[in-house]
Amino acid sequence: MINPTHIDEQVTLARDVEVITIPFGSKTIIKKGEVGQITQALGGSYTVMIGGNLFRIDGKDADAIGKKALEELESSHEKENGHVNEQAVWDVMKTCYDPEIPVNIVDLGLIYSCEFNTTDNNSTLVEIKMTLTAPGCGMGPVIADEVKQKVNGVPGVGDVKLELVWDPPWDQSMISEAARLQMGLL
């Protein structure tokens, strides 16, 4: 897990690195030697401000900012009687963050449903319906792909079907009480 004390730490890129621009969600390359500030270090990635712009650096590229590169998240949960441990799926979704908001997507209320179905080959299909804080969010596909990748890594998951939905529209009332407290909304 990333140490949250890295926030506001100044970093200098040790190598060229592919990043995702925030909030647009497009990929670009930031060159070696660029200087920036870590603004968020959660869920296996870093949000870095460079030249007044925000970029997301994946945990596998953390060495570019002088941090230890993250290895694939390991699930501490095992299969239960040949089936996926549903709590493991929820736990791994709680490691997914909007790079601009320091609260995981589950506590933000972005996961509308998560269903588990056994397939013919005895693996589990996980069907997720989620939304975003704003329909035009350029980071939406990035966040959705991260959720799919991490849920696919849970033992026993055979496939993940993720659908972005807009009804009902997300609003702040969907944020958990703990997250509201963390964000200073209570």
User: pLDDT at position 71, please?
Assistant: 54
**Residue 77, pLDDT above cutoff 80:** no
Pairing of strands 45-50, 53-58: antiparallel
Q: What is the mean pLDDT of residues 142-163?
A: 93
Q: State what percent of residues in the chain have pLDDT above 90.
A: 62
CB atoms within 10 A of CB 100: 15
Provide the whole-model pTM.
0.75
H helix count then E strand count, the chain: 3, 9
Provide the token pair at 84: 């996926």
Sketch the domain layout of the chain as residue ranges. 4-65, 86-183
For the domain bounded by 86-183, which CATH number is listed? Answer: 3.30.300.130
Closest to 85 (Cα-Cα) out of 76, 94, 97: 76
Query: Is the pLDDT confidence value at 129 over 70?
Result: yes
pLDDT of residue 10: 94
Q: Which residues contact 103 (CB under 8 A, 6 or more apart)?
A: 97, 175, 179, 182, 183
pLDDT tens, position by position, 48-71: 999 999 999 998 999 999 998 765
Q: Does domain 4-65 have CATH number 2.30.30?
A: yes
Of 111, 87, 101, the closest CA to residue 42 belongs to 101
pLDDT of residue 112: 97
102 or 73, greater pLDDT? 102
Q: Are 64 and 15 in contact (CB under 8 A)?
A: yes
Mean per-residue pLDDT, 161-184: 92
| Per-residue H/E/C for 92-120 | HHCCCECCCCCCECCCCCCEEEEEEEECC
Q: Give per-residue pLDDT as tens, 10-41.
A: 999 999 999 999 988 999 999 999 999 999 88
